[in-house]
Each structure stands twice: as C-alpha cells, then as structure tokens.
Amino acid sequence: MPKGMGVVGSVNPQFPGGGARRSRRLAWLLLAPALLWSAALLVYPIWVVLSNSVHRVQSGLGSHHPFVGLRNYAVLLHDPVFYHVVKITLVFSVFNIAGSFGMGLLTALLLNQNYRARYVFQPLFLIPWAVPQIVAVLIWRWLLDYQYGPLGYLLWRLGLVPSPHIAWLIHPNLALIGVIITTVWVQYPIATTFLLAGLKTISPDLIDAARVDGASAWQRFRNIVWPHLSGVRNILLMLLIFWSLGQVVVIWAMTQGGPARGTDTAAIMVYIRAFQDFRIGNASALSVMVLVVSLAIGLVYYRYSFQHARKSGGG
C-alpha cells in the first residue's frame, strides 16, 4: 500500500546540517496535530460507538451501563424494522447509484460531443453540485408539493399523469422516489465530472478509426469507450455506494425517514434510534454495521485508486 502512493514522487530529502534524525523528528512533530485530531475526533469516537454497542445504554451518560455482550446486535437481528430498513437502504442505494451514474454518463457523453459548446454547457450541468444540500431539499420539497408543486403540474400538462396533484412525500413509495430524485440531482454532477475526465483520455483517432471501419455508434461505445472508462468508473461507483449508505442530510431534511418508514435507511435509523428513541446501545450496534460496510468499501476504494495512480505513472 505505501508504495502504491505513487503521487508522492521520488523526493526523499536529507536536510543538510540537521541530519536525518532531526528531520524525522520535525516530520513527526508537524504531522502530530493532524494525527492527534484524528485520534480524538475519529478513533476515540469509534471506540465509544463500539463500547456502547456492547453495553445497555438507554440515555447516554450518567447512569450505570451494564455489559450485555452482543445482545444489542441480537435484538437488531430479531427486529422486523431492521430488515425493512435494510431493504429501503438497498432500494435507495441501487436507484440513487443507477440514477447518478446514468445521468452522469449521459451528460458526459453529450458534453464530449462538441468541444467548443462544452464550455457553455459544462458549468450549467455542474450547478446542482454547487447548491447546498439543504437548499436543494427546500426547493425540491416545493417542486414536489402535493397542492402547489409545479412538477406535478408539468407532468400532468405533458399527459404523463392523470392528475396534477401527486402525493409525493405523502405516500411512502412515492416519498422514496422523491428522495432519490433529489439525491440524484445533487450528486450526478460528480459523476459527470469523473466520466468526462475519463472520456477526455480516449484518443479521438481511435474512435475515428473505428468509424472508418464501419463500427456503429453503439459498437464504438461498447467496444472502445466503455472499456476505457473502467478505472474512473470503478472509483466513481465505490464513491457512490459509500455516499448512498451514508446519505443523511437529504433524507433527514426531506422526510425524516417517513412517511411510515418509507425512506428509513440504515443511516437514518441510527439517528432516530439514538436521538428520538434514546436507545443508544441499539443505535450503536447498527452504527457499527454501517461502519464496517463503509470501511470495507473505503479500503477497496483507496487500494484501487492508489494502485491506479501508480500504474498511470503516479506524480
């Protein structure tokens, strides 16, 4: 892994005068604040979660918290809500990832068609990324409003729905769709940027040659473009999986996991169990599960991206 950090370059200075040992001390001294910060606000909190997940903790601090082993986990595994939440998390993640990736690919391919006009359209397509997530939720709640929402009205005018009043955010399944639309809207520009960067590395000569050989647009995409995107695509997908599992801001602000738990993902359930039900032990056990899955993805992501960086020449 450390060798994989190809971005480092080859500099390994030995400072004159000071000597290697003094330089090493200086290096650790300068790294210390960042290390201590991470230890205090990342490592220690994770220890707190792990510890809470094996204790009976009803309201945080103060009282006696008996050790209960893996009971919190067992309780979760016998809780029907847990399985519902796993299902919602999967549905949310799959559609959010597919939507963000699909929109990203579509916009990236379109932007890659015309080099000059790209400079006009590319910033426009990136605007949703620049909007704070809370503002995005505020806007989308209005667009999807049952009574006055313009989206229902537009869909109705286009003849796609029988009534302009759509019960987005009132019906559990429609609420999940509403949350997914909003999340895709704030997220797809990241996919656009990644995939466009990948598309730029494909030599136009390669595409032209295929065209001369009579390859159709689909064949060119399938046999040249798609394989070329593999590196960027894998990293992007890992980021999207990770962000889907961890998404709390949009869901919480939009529906708070409701209505009728229709948008209750694992990340939201942790929050509800801890801050509304005050079942800290239960919430911590679920937290640990989310953490394990996320870190597994994170590890693969870093391994992959650093290896890729090394292969493509590093610094």
Partner 1 sequence: MGRAALWFLVMVALTGVVLLPVYWMLLTAINGASIFTFPPHFWPTSLAFVNFIQSFTFRPFATWLINSATVALGTTALSMMISLAAAYSLSRYPSRAILNTGFLILMGQMIPLTVLIIPLYIIFRTLGLINTLTSVILAATTFALPMCLWMLKGYLDHIPYELDEAALVDGCSPLQAYVRIVIPSMAPGIAASAAFSFMLGWNEFFFANTFLTTQNHWVATVGLDSYIGQYALQWGAIFASALMVTVPPAVLFFFIQRFMVIGLSQGAVKG
Number of residues forming the site for partner 1 (CB under 8 A): 120
Q: Where are the beta strands (DSSP E) in 124-239?
A: none
Phi then psi dihedrals of residue 55, to 5 deg: -120, 160
**Minimum separation from the CB atom of position 285 to partner 1 (A):** 11
63 touching partner 1, by CB under 8 A: no
CB atoms within 10 A of CB 90: 13
Contact, 175 vs 259, CB < 8 A? yes
Among 21, 34, 64, 115, binds partner 1 (CB under 8 A): 34
155 touching partner 1, by CB under 8 A: no
Q: Which stretch binds partner 1 (CB under 8 A): 70-78, 82-90, 149-157, 171-179?
A: 149-157
Q: Which of residues 262-281 bind partner 1 (CB under 8 A)?
A: 266-268, 270-271, 274-275, 280
Helix axis angle, 133-143 to 172-200, nearest 10°: 130
**Minimum separation from the CB atom of position 118 to partner 1 (A):** 10
Among 75, 86, 110, 167, binds partner 1 (CB under 8 A): 110
Residue 55 has what DSSP assignment? B
90 touching partner 1, by CB under 8 A: no
**Cα–Cα distance for residue pair 123/290, rounded to 1 Å:** 35
Element housing 282 (H / E): helix 280-311
CB nearer partner 1, residue 79 or residue 294: 294
21 touching partner 1, by CB under 8 A: no
- Mask: binding to partner 1, 174-203, rule CB under 8 A, as x and -? -----------x----x--xx--xx-xx--
309 touching partner 1, by CB under 8 A: yes
**Minimum separation from the CB atom of position 148 to partner 1 (A):** 6
CB nearer partner 1, residue 131 or residue 210: 131
List residues bridging with 1 in a β-sheet: none
138 touching partner 1, by CB under 8 A: yes
232 touching partner 1, by CB under 8 A: yes
**Minimum separation from the CB atom of position 261 to partner 1 (A):** 16
Max alpha carbon distance in the chain (Å)?
A: 81
Token pair, residue 72, equals: 């919190």
**Cα–Cα distance for residue pair 242/253, rounded to 1 Å:** 20
**Minimum separation from the CB atom of position 74 to partner 1 (A):** 20
81 touching partner 1, by CB under 8 A: no
Could you identify the residue written with the tokens 């190809």?
6
Q: Where are the beta strands (DSSP E) in the chain?
A: none
**Cα–Cα distance for residue pair 6/162, rounded to 1 Å:** 57
Residue 61 has what DSSP assignment? S
